[in-house]
Amino acid sequence: MPSNARILLTGATGQVGSELLPLLEPFGNVIVPSRAEIDLANPDSLRELIRSVRPRWIVNPAAYTAVDKAESEPDLAYAINAEAVKAIGEEASAIGATVIHFSTDYVFDGSGTTPYTETDPTGPQSVYGASKLAGEQALIASGAAHLIFRTSWVYGATGKNFLLTILKLARERDTLRIVADQHGAPTWSRDLARMTAHVIHQCEALAGVRPLSEALASLSGIYHAAGSGETTWHGFAAEAVRLQRERDPESKLATLHPILTSEYPTPAKRPVNSRMSCEKLAHRFGWTMMDWQQSLQDVLAELSVTQPAEATR
């Protein structure tokens, strides 16, 4: 990779972006625009920035992720999740940059009981899912070299996510009712970031002295990148609470009760089946995503350092 190469990283304060930043720095000069520099709801600001920076890589974990709110804010969801991605793709194509973009299991309709592959028919059931699918399609149509990583149930030790919410509520309440008929796999944000860095390294090694976009012609496409294994939201929460009790036997944590999706209605419809096969990722790039139970243990260990048990009582 050229020593003066630039990597444009969006959403650097988000769950995935904050994990990506330190891992991308060894590859070149990472450009992290502030909110004042780009407005993701205004594609023109993105276009101007890309033309100014002329990056070799554009890594885009930024997204509108308020799944339920998107039902009442479809224009904003599409602006950020589709129109912004279209702008990124078109500008990347014009300068020969490669785009790494993150998508979601919500592009599927959630039917069936087997893991989705990259070639399975899509059928989003929510505005969020439809806007993310539109972003995928726009990036592919742009002609830019691209790697789209669909993931699911992202969480980590920072930010806003299901794990941190459950741990907080488990300390505050006696009982919690958790959906137990939606199946998938939690994905650690750091594992996603490590995978991304690994893929960039492999792509650069493959490119050698050739133009990067030319070298990646056969690799461009969609890849599934979700945690290994399978559970439900209730199973995820129950394992997190069990491990917390092991770490701090004196703590008082809520009892969890499994419920059906129909007992917890939300504005946006959630996929019942979020299972995704990651065999293509393993075959093309030699990367196996972490088992969700192992990553959960690692995240809780990190939380035990940043949030000692005594401080959470």
Catalytic positions are: 128
Helix (H) or strand (E) holding 204: helix 189-207
Helix (H) or strand (E) holding 224: strand 221-224
- How far is 183 from 230, CA to CA, in rounded Å? 7
- How far is 103 from 109, CA to CA, in rounded Å? 15
Beta-bridged to residue 224, according to DSSP, are: 150
Shortest CA distance to 288 belongs to which of 153, 163, 161, 185?
185
* Buried/exposed code over 115-130 (b: 16+ C-beta within 10 A; e: otherwise): bbebebeeebbbbbbb
203, two tokens: 């792509």
DSSP summary character for residue 117: P
